Structure 1
Amino acid sequence: MREEFERMMREQCEIALATMTDGLPHVRIVNFYYTSEERRVYFATLKDNEKVVELAANPNIAFSTVPHNNTMEHVRASGHAVKSTRTIHDLADAFAEKGPRVREFISAVGDDLILYEITLTEAVVNLDLGKRETIVL
């Protein structure tokens, strides 16, 4: 199942990221990059975005990768989102591999983006209805 996890994290481009404030969940779709060596998910947001305020108040998050190619397969995980010591420019090439428009976005507003990272310890890999497994990373 670890191989399927790595494949999905490499091939899928977006996560549905959930934050929580005042007992209410807030979900939005964001681009991401995963590095298996560090077991980290990286995502960026504009400095003046609501996510910045929400994550400062409560860094606990959950996410699901967004399935593509008419499949149901996805990865679910949770953790803490913290501001990265890296910048989006440090990882621009890695993010751009997920889609050409990402590079354009980084070029246009990269200096206004905050990069966050989530270190994963486990994830739920969902291959199909009824076929899922929790893996330790």
Structure 2
Amino acid sequence: MDVRQEFLRIMDTQKLMALATSVDGQPDVRMIGFVYDKVNKVIYFVTYPKSAKVEQIRQNDKVAFTTLPAERIECVRGEGVARPSSRTLEEVAPVLEEKRPGYMEHIKRVRDRVALFEIVVDEVRVVLSDKKDHLLRV
């Protein structure tokens, strides 16, 4: 089994992740849509700049996440640093469209009200249906 290939498969097929932020020792978790950019090795998500998660990320950029499986019990989970992306939505559009065809049409309608964020991770745990964690350096 190639853990890297399994990681990429999960990141390509799972559409939601639970993103956890924490401020003053208080955790806060929510589900978000995401895409993984294989070339830049970054997780992207689009959000409203005035959302609670953005304010929490400004106060503490360390986050934790786990993808949410649709069928089998397999996921990718990890910790990283979240920040506003230095890339634009237009630059990331091919990655967004590959995973979510038609997504950019939706984004065009709310373009002035959303921001692109990224999560940078060094390593993740890949949990497969055998329920064994596999540590992977991204």
The equivalent of 2:15 in structure 1 is 13
Q: Percent identity?
A: 37
After superposition, the C-alpha distances for 1:38-90 in whole angstroms (9 at most, x for unaligned) are 2111112102111111010000000001101x211100011110111112232
TM-score by length of 1: 0.90
Q: Distance in 1 between matches of 2:118 and 2:99?
A: 17
Between 45-54 and 92-101, report the one with greater CA deviation: 92-101
Q: Give the deviation of 1:136 after TM superposition.
A: 1.1
SS at match of 1:4: helix
The structure 1 segments of at least 4 consecutive aligned residues displaced by more than 6 Å after TM superposition are none
The CA RMSD over aligned residues, in Å, is 1.5
- For structure 2, the 5+ residue unaligned runs are none
1:105 alignment counterpart: 106
Corresponding residue number in structure 1 for 2:72 = 71
Who is 1:57 aligned against?
59
User: Aligned residue pairs: how many?
Assistant: 136
Cα distance in 2 between the residues matched to 1:18 and 1:34:
17
Distance across 2 between alignment mates of 1:56 and 1:12 = 27
| Structure-2-length-normalised TM-score | 0.89
